[in-house]
Amino acid sequence: MNMKTFPPISETFRAFSCIIAQLNRPPVLPPGFHFHPTDEELVVHYLMKKVAAAPLPVDIIAEVDLYKFNPWEFPKNAVYGDGEWYFFTLREKKYPNGGRPNRMTTSGYWKAIGCEKIVLSGDGTQRLGFKKTMAFYEGK
């Protein structure tokens, strides 16, 4: 009996990512695969790699200046997702020498609400980052 061998999953995803980038089409994940990463997975496998300019496991998170769009426009800018979308966006300062972020959009602004949620490693021993909840307000 001949057994067919397949490349490791990481190589498969890397090749898959390259094909998607070349075709400039949204990725279609294989049947049974869904993109529902945990906070830890988002930080470790996507955000840290993006910051380090390292290859991502799959090119599934779009880089978009979210402040140029209103929240109801997000779905058209997403690479993948239905009801839940992920984006990389840079945070600009409101003032050149200040620390306040500029969260203005074309028709409103984003405001951080509640407390920051700390993102810990799976075993709970390392602080990887934090997560903020944002609310959108129309008007200036």
Cα–Cα dist 43/48, whole Å: 6
Per-domain boundaries in the chain: 9-138
- What count of other Cβ atoms lies within 10 Å of the Cβ of residue 13? 20
Beta strands of 53-126 (E only): which ranges?
Answer: 62-63, 87-88, 108-120
List, for residues 87-129, the tens digit of each pLDDT value. Answer: 888 888 888 888 888 888 888 998 888 898 999 999 999 999 9
Cα–Cα dist 29/49, whole Å: 21
Q: Are 47 and 86 in contact (CB under 8 A)?
A: no
List, for residues 19-68, the tens digit of each pLDDT value. Answer: 334 334 556 677 887 788 899 999 999 999 999 999 988 888 888 888 88
Residues of 93-124 as b/e, b for ≥16 C-beta within 10 angstroms?
A: eeeeeeeeeebebeeebbeeeeeeeebeeeee
The pLDDT score that the predictor gives to residue 28 is 65
User: Above 50 in pLDDT, residue 18?
Assistant: no
pTM: 0.70
Question: Which residues share a beta bridge with 88?
Answer: 63
Cα distances from 134 to residues 110, 115, 137, in angstroms, run 6, 10, 10
**9-138 belongs to which CATH class?**
mainly beta
